[in-house]
Amino acid sequence: MAPVRPMNAVRFRGRGDSVLLAVLALLSGIFAAVAHSPILAALAFGSLVALLIALIVPSRSRSDAQHVAADASEASPPASPAEPRTMLIPPTLDNTALLHVLAGALGAEAPVVAVHLWLQDPSSATLRLVTSIGPMSPSPQPVALDDPILGAAVRNGVAMLQPLAKVQTAETSQIIWRFALPLCPGEANGVVAADLSVENDPDGGSLARLSAPLLGPLAGGLALHVAHIETEMATALLEVARDLSRLLDPDEVLATALRTAMSISEAATGSLMLIDPDSGKLVIAKAHGLPQKVVAETNLSEGEGIAGWVLSTGQPLLIEDLSTQPQTGRRHGVRSAVSVPIADSDGALGVINVGSRGFPARFTESHMHALETLGKQTAVALRNARALTSTRELYFDTLKALSLALETKDPYARGGTERVLALATAIGEAYGLPDDEQEALRVASLLHDIGMSTAGDSLGSGRRPLSTIEHGLVKLHPQIAAEILDELPALRSVAPIVYHHHEWFDGQGYLNGLSGEAIPLGARILAVADAYVAMTSGRSYRAALSQSQAMGELQEKAGTQFDPAVVDVLRDILRAGNDRAPDWMRS
């Protein structure tokens, strides 16, 4: 076989239609502004320069092609002059269309079995397949930059022509040759290659001459491919930034961030690690594709392992082939990984990790930069959600203190509010109430009896019968409480629960005589929880009922005073014991 034939470099020199260059420059500038990408900014500038060259010196690209052909002919035997061919360059920068044109052009020299376009990824020192055509198209797996044909063309900036394989049949013997040309659109690098099936050595000069008119459009197509990737990731990040800004729950922030990281990188595994406030170590807060034991047991000190290094340095990291790393650097079959910090201007909160079990993986520098941006967005959203959670907890604790202060008027009611809260919360969770409805139920459990303060001290604790006026005041306490709550915008969703919690399921209750499911579910839950706590609490005129006695009363009145379904849920909770019952009910 003939040795490798290096040929003169074929650089992007603005060959192609001036309109295409203008469009490329405009699009690149827009994408650069949106994505804040220095690569795209360089591409926009390069395209404008190429446009000026194409307008002012239109003969330059033809001269370049002639030089390439002349240089190539010096490295190969003289060939008979080919018949002049008119190449129709398509008015598009679609890479597949351009490869078809190139295949047709090179077909004049030898049968073409594949044409393929590759983009260099410096972070992994590999070439990534952009697109290919032909019956013998190469595998989509990344190619190492030390490849003797594709890699050499990119590394050395020269065209390469080398035999690739020998195909032997019963009648003929064919050699597959690979012809590769480097492409350099802006700061990106790539290579276009054609695989030819011939009996004799192909003519390198003819191949260079036939492909020269397409080098400019191919470089432009590769540049638009890079811009498309950057734009897709920028769009995804803009969408997730919008989504994260709307989330108020830290757990939802983490779930959304991990889901986005997995989608952007197309990874097999992923995890979000946060700094544990007690130990100061990184622990896994959310994970996908990892064994439960790994999730539970993983904890890393700052500087330990890949994630610890990322946390301590604040720098993103892309690593290929973790099988060569120390034991602490590899887990559960992951061979390639990207780790980025979850950090903002206030400091680091944790690390985002994604992994691939294959090698080489399809992670690129673009993936790493996108994930780094996601890490910053996650940090901001997580801090906001945590601050809101702390505010909510302070707000809820304040309401709780208010309700406990009101209890001091009735010595027999002390502790009852917390028990109603715990029981109503457990029933609401069993129903799977949405977060906002569950929160409203919890607040209603604390404040449902604030209207009783208008009826005087300890009405429910005395032995004497209530007067007509006192009885009327007691029946009005839900309305008084609801009116107070309705004056506070943050508590308006609580008012209906408090207002209707003395309605009966058969319509015989007060204030409005509602029945069945017309009564808000929160009010039906609160009615059962409040009645159970009242019956199991001692009074001056009677002893507290036992759990079974109280449940008997509730079941007897299920369908009349109480919602039977809510009573059944309470019964199930009590039977579940330690698994579901509130703390004060556990043995």
Closest among 60, 89, 160 to 118, alpha carbons compared: 160
Instruction: At 232, list the tokens.
Output: 């897709």
DSSP 577: G
DSSP 135: T
Closest among 101, 104, 99, 93 to 116, alpha carbons compared: 99
Give Cβ neighbours of residue 184 (< 8 Å, ≥ 6 apart): 11, 12, 157, 190, 219
**Tell me, what's the pLDDT at 44?**
53
Give the chain's mean pLDDT: 79
Q: Which range is least confidently modeled, 373-377, 446-450, 461-465? A: 461-465
Sign of the torsion angle spanned by Cα atoms 274, 280, 281, 284 = negative
Sign of the torsion angle spanned by Cα atoms 32, 37, 38, 39 = negative
| HEC-encoded secondary structure of 83-131 | CCCCCCCCCCCCHHHHHHHHHHHHCCCCCEEEEEEEEEECCCCEEEEEE
The CATH H-level superfamily of 247-386 is GAF domain (3.30.450.40)
Indicate if the pLDDT at residue 192 is higher than 90.
yes
**Cβ atoms of residues 299 and 285 within 8 Å:** no
Q: What is the pLDDT of residues 291-334, one digit of tens each?
A: 999 899 999 999 998 999 999 999 999 887 655 454 444 455 66
| HEC-encoded secondary structure of 558-576 | ECCCECHHHHHHHHHHHHH
Q: Answer yes or no: CATH 1.10.3210.10 is held by domain 408-585.
A: yes
**Cβ atoms of residues 244 and 377 within 8 Å:** yes
Whole-angstrom CA distances from 115 to 193, 194, 240, 447 are: 6, 4, 37, 74
**Cβ atoms of residues 310 and 316 within 8 Å:** yes
**Cβ atoms of residues 349 and 342 within 8 Å:** yes
Same fold, 5-77+89-229 and 247-386: yes
**Banded model confidence at residue 113, pLDDT cuts 50, 70, 90:** very high
**Separation between Cα atoms, residue 66 and residue 540, nearest integer Å:** 109
**Tell me, what's the pLDDT at 448?**
84
Number of Cβ atoms within 10 Å of the Cβ of 390: 10
**Separation between Cα atoms, residue 365 and residue 361, nearest integer Å:** 12
The arrangement of strands across the sheet holding 5-7 comes to: 5-7, 159-168, 173-183, 190-198, 112-121, 126-133, 143-144
Q: What is the pLDDT of residues 209-229, one digit of tens each?
A: 999 999 999 999 998 888 887
Q: What is the pLDDT of residues 142-187, one digit of tens each?
A: 888 999 999 999 999 999 999 998 887 777 778 999 999 999 877 7
Indicate if the pLDDT at residue 399 is higher than 60.
yes
Q: What is the pLDDT of residues 504-551, one digit of tens each?
A: 999 999 989 999 999 999 999 999 999 999 899 877 667 889 999 999
| CB-side neighbour CA atoms (13 Å) of 45 | 9
DSSP 487: T
**SS3 state of residue 314:** coil
**Banded model confidence at residue 26, pLDDT cuts 50, 70, 90:** low
Domain edges within the chain: 5-77+89-229, 247-386, 408-585
Q: Looking at per-residue confidence, does 410 or 494 come out higher?
A: 494
Greatest mean pLDDT among 76-90, 195-209, 404-418 lies in 195-209
Whole-angstrom CA distances from 482 to 233, 396, 477, 479 are: 49, 18, 8, 5
Give Cβ neighbours of residue 377 (< 8 Å, ≥ 6 apart): 237, 240, 241, 244, 257
**SS3 state of residue 219:** helix
Whole-angstrom CA distances from 349 to 203, 378, 436 are: 60, 9, 27
Residue owning tokens 């220095």? 38
Q: Which range is least confidently modeled, 48-57, 453-462, 562-571? A: 48-57
Closest among 20, 361, 5 to 204, alpha carbons compared: 5
**Separation between Cα atoms, residue 451 and residue 24, nearest integer Å:** 71
**Tell me, what's the pLDDT at 312?**
93
Percent of residues, the chain, with pLDDT higher than 90: 41
**Separation between Cα atoms, residue 426 and residue 414, nearest integer Å:** 20
Topology (CATH) of 5-77+89-229 = Beta-Lactamase (3.30.450)
**CA angle, 267 then 269 then 270, to 5°:** 95
**Banded model confidence at residue 374, pLDDT cuts 50, 70, 90:** very high
Number of Cβ atoms within 10 Å of the Cβ of 205: 23
Q: Looking at per-residue confidence, does 48 or 410 come out higher?
A: 410
Q: Which range is least confidently modeled, 57-61, 86-90, 218-222? A: 57-61
**SS3 state of residue 347:** strand
Per DSSP, the residues of 405-468 read: HHHTT-TTTTTHHHHHHHHHHHHHHHHT--HHHHHHHHHHHHHTTGGGGGG-TTGGG-SSPPPH
Give Cβ neighbours of residue 18 (< 8 Å, ≥ 6 apart): 51, 54, 55
Closest among 118, 116, 128 to 320, alpha carbons compared: 128
